[in-house]
Amino acid sequence: MPDNNIAYERDVKYYETDRMGIVHHSNYIRYFEEARIDQLDKIGLPYPEIEERGIMIPVLFVECAYLKPLRYGDTFRIIPRIAKYTGLKMDISYELYHGETGELCTTGKSGHCFLYPDMKPVRMKRDFPDIYERLMEYAEKDRSDCNSGV
């Protein structure tokens, strides 16, 4: 079983904070994107290579719950997980932890689909079975509803 806890770590930059000295809420969505791209790299699916093969992975939705603030200089760790994967769509969940205290600071989720540049859906299982299988390997769900032939 692959390690689904592929952590992304970094520190908070000064420009990411607001006048109150805490990370501006919009930056957490950026952190999620950084973690998602990093996760794809770590599982052997670098995003530039996915795009070179003609696949786009747009964001369909994003959710974020702010539990505890981060401040300039804090380090943090994000654990992204492929929470759901059907071959047409993919949901990623995120848990963001304070790097020193280990406290859970933020949780979130983003939804994605797979499209060709002409905006037509990609059927990953049929058209890119290698990528489909790699993502299935890391998906955290009951796979019985994922094998619908898409």
Burial profile 79-96: b = 16 or more Cβ within 10 angstroms, e = fewer: bbbbbbbbbbebbbbbbb
Specify the DSSP class assigned to residue 74.
Answer: -
What are residue 112's phi and psi, to 5 degrees? -140, 160
Token pair recorded at residue 130: 């290698």
Interacting residues of 3 by C-beta distance below 8 A, sequence separation 6+: none
Respond yes or no: is residue 142 known to be catalytic: no
Give the residue from 105, 103, 94, 136 showing the smallest Cα distance to 22: 105
Instruction: Identify whether the C-beta of residue 54 lies closer than 8 Å to the C-beta of residue 99.
Output: no
Please identify which of the residues 3, 11, 18, 38 carries the catalytic annotation. 18
Token digits of residue 124: 């990953």
What residues are annotated to the active site? 18
